[in-house]
Amino acid sequence: MPDPAASPPAAGVIHDLGYRGYDGPRLGRAQIVRALTWHSFRSSFGIGRGVKGKIIPVLAVVAMCLPAFVNAFAVARGNARLFGYDVYVPSLRVAVVTIFLAAQAPELVSRDLRNHVLPLYFCRPLRRGDYPLAKYLALTAALLLLIEIPLLILYVGTIASAKSGGAVWDQTKALIPGLGVGLMWAVLMAAIGLVLASLTGRRAYSTGIVAISCVLTFILALLLIQSEGGTTATSTGARIAGLFSPFTIMDGVRVWLGGDPNVGLVADPGRYGPLYGLLAVVLLAACLGGLAARYRKVSQS
């Protein structure tokens, strides 16, 4: 009997092409995690999805960048920079990040839960924690882009009209802490968004959970700050009122680390600053721990 592998393939009959195995190199675990991260990052901007999946990410990016373009225009006409790098336009940023998170965190995790795709991931050479890790890295990167790109536009728009090298250096010095604040937002909000979204595979519910959690806590914190005399008050109540929502916690950390207390969302935390820092770290750890625990359970079912 002739060896089937040695016989020439029948020309023109595509169905009869034999099966070929693969003995080439295989990616290691780190590269597989990277592939999953890249795939998830793309889908968090709706790339590889239909037109419907791109609407919210695109609108979010446009809305976030708009003030930066307005600034470039204003600076070109001789005005000073319109907003700080570290706070940007706080209410807009809170709103856009909330909407982006509520729409895209479920895209990354609820979808796979809903479609029961997870067994197909966990039967491959991934470890249990690799899936949530990749999703977290992807969403953090997506948020980072959403938050930092407007800051870079703000920076470029401002230095484009700078008259001296010293002015450029001043802008650069102001930009760096702004990028740091953006990183903090991305790192913390991605964790919060994912752990909430992974609670259920029903997309509408997980969007609702994320949105309501962000909005309600934020309104609660704002009301408390208002009732304690606003962001310029110095009472203990006003100083700790910002501890009740992630956005105000992050703004408290910003002021504690030397940011301008006269702009932003919260009253100067004063000696309660470390409490804001501690709470931010605890919140992050709790969310990441919760996410890991969630997928440890899921992978067994």
Nearer to another protein by Cβ, of 11 and 123: the residue is 123
What's at 143, amino acid-wise? L
Instruction: Judge whether 168 and 175 are in contact, CB under 8 Å.
Output: no
Nearer to another protein by Cβ, of 12 and 24: the residue is 24
Instruction: Judge whether 255 and 226 are in contact, CB under 8 Å.
Output: no
Question: Can you tell me the distance from the alpha carbon of 82 to that of 70, in angstroms, rounded to the nearest whole number?
Answer: 9
Question: Can you tell me the distance from the alpha carbon of 154 to that of 26, in angstroms, rounded to the nearest whole number?
Answer: 44
Nearer to another protein by Cβ, of 22 and 271: the residue is 22
- Whose tokens are 């950390």? That residue is 253
Count the Cβ atoms, other than its own, within 10 Å of residue 32: 18
Q: Which stretch binds another protein (CB under 8 A): 112-120, 198-206, 208-216, 272-280?
A: 112-120
- 294 is a contact residue toward another protein (CB under 8 A): no
Q: Give the DSSP letter of residue 202.
A: -
What's at 6, amino acid-wise? A
Q: Which stretch binds another protein (CB under 8 A): 32-40, 78-86, 155-163, 221-229?
A: 32-40
Instruction: Judge whether 254 and 264 are in contact, CB under 8 Å.
Output: yes
Question: Can you tell me the distance from the alpha carbon of 109 to that of 106, in angstroms, rounded to the nearest whole number?
Answer: 5
Nearer to another protein by Cβ, of 23 and 166: the residue is 23
Kindly write out the interface string for residues 120-149 of this chain, putting x where it contacts another protein by CB under 8 A and - elsewhere.
xxxxxxxx----------------------
Instruction: Judge whether 280 and 188 are in contact, CB under 8 Å.
Output: yes
Q: Which stretch binds another protein (CB under 8 A): 27-35, 138-146, 230-238, 289-297?
A: 27-35
Cα dihedral angle (86, 89, 95, 96), rounded to 10 degrees? -80
Count the Cβ atoms, other than its own, within 10 Å of residue 15: 5
- 32 is a contact residue toward another protein (CB under 8 A): yes
Nearer to another protein by Cβ, of 26 and 271: the residue is 26
Cα dihedral angle (254, 192, 144, 88), rounded to 10 degrees? -40
Kindly write out the interface string for residues 38-67 of this chain, putting x where it contacts another protein by CB under 8 A and - elsewhere.
-x--------xxx-----------------
Kindly write out the interface string for residues 66-105 of this chain, putting x where it contacts another protein by CB under 8 A and - elsewhere.
----------------------------------------
Q: How far is the CB of 33 from another protein (least distance, A)?
A: 9
Q: Give the DSSP letter of residue 89.
A: S
Q: Which stretch binds another protein (CB under 8 A): 68-76, 117-125, 202-210, 265-273?
A: 117-125
Q: How far is the CB of 123 from another protein (least distance, A)?
A: 4
Q: Contact residues for another protein (CB under 8 A)?
A: 14-15, 17-29, 31-32, 35-36, 39, 48-50, 111-112, 115-117, 119-127, 299-300
